[in-house]
Amino acid sequence: MPKIAPPQPWRDALGTRVRELRAERQWSQETLAERADVHTTYVSGIERGRRNVSIDILHRLAVAFGVEIRDLF
């Protein structure tokens, strides 16, 4: 039986927010990945709520979007 991870709504909320900010700028996941210096698959994982994102990555996302870290939440 595969272990089912408990729901982590805070990760889902971050994913939704990142997708929102990305869509506002009409960026592809590749464009965001390039600007934030992360792998494209990592952006996809963040947006699907699958990543336990660190504050260093949150900082790079915020800089890429031109917002404050708190604006990612």
Q: Which long-range contacts (CB under 8 A, 24 or more apart) does 2-11 make?
A: 8/49, 11/49, 11/50, 11/51, 11/52, 11/53
69 scored as a contact of its own copies (CB under 8 A) = yes
Q: To the nearest whole angstrom, how small is the minimum distance from the Cβ of residue 40 to its own copies?
A: 20
**Of 33, 43, 53, 64, the one binding its own copies by CB under 8 A:** 53
Torsion sign across C-alpha atoms 55, 57, 59, 65: negative
**Of 38, 54, 64, 65, the one binding its own copies by CB under 8 A:** 54
Q: To the nearest whole angstrom, how small is the minimum distance from the Cβ of residue 26 to its own copies?
A: 25
